[in-house]
Structure 1
Amino acid sequence: MDEISFSLVYEHCSRGNLSDVIKYSSVMLDWDFRIHLIRDLVNGMIYLHKSTVKVHGMLTSRNCVINSRWLLKITNFGVNKVCALYNHFKPPSPEELLWTAPELLRDPIALSTGTQMGDVYSFAIIMQELILRSDPYPNCGLNAAEIIERVRVGAPIYRPNMFGAEAPLGLLRILRNAWIENPVMRPSFQEIEKLLEQSIKGRNVNIVDHIRRIMEKYSAELEAQVEDRKRELQEEKQRTEMLIANMLPLRVAQRLIAGNPVPPEAFDEVTIYFSDIVGFSHITAKSTGIQIAEFLNDLYSTFDLEIRKFDVYKVETIGDSYVVASGLPTRNGRRHAGEIASMALELLSISGIFVIRHLPTVPLLLRIGIHTGPCVAGVIGLIRPRYCLFGDTMNTASRMQSTGEGTAFLVC
Structure 2
Amino acid sequence: MTQNNWTSKVVLFHAGLTSLIAHIRVGRMQVALEAKSTVQPAVVTEYCPKGSLSDVLLNDDVPLNWGFRFSFATDIARGTAYLHQHRICHGRLKSLNCVLDDRWVCKITDYGLRSYRRSAAAEPLSSYQQRVLEVPWVRSSAHNAACLHSYSIILLEIATRSDPVPMEKYSKHLEVLVAERTQDLTHEKQKTDRLLYSMLPRQVADDLRQGKPMKAQSYVSATVFFSDIVGFTQLSSSSTPYQVVDFLNKLYTTFDDIIDNYDVYKVETIGDAYMVVSGVPQENGILHAAEVSSMALDLLAVCRSFSIPHQPHTRLQIRAGIHSGPVVAGVVGTKMPRYCLFGDTVNTSSRMESTSLALKIQCSSSTFYLLEEIGGYLLECRGTMQVKGKGDMVTYWLEGKKTSVEPAAPRGP
TM-score w.r.t. structure 2 length? 0.48
Return the index of the structure with the highest Cα Rg: 2
TM (normalized to structure 1)?
Answer: 0.49
Bigger share in strand:
2
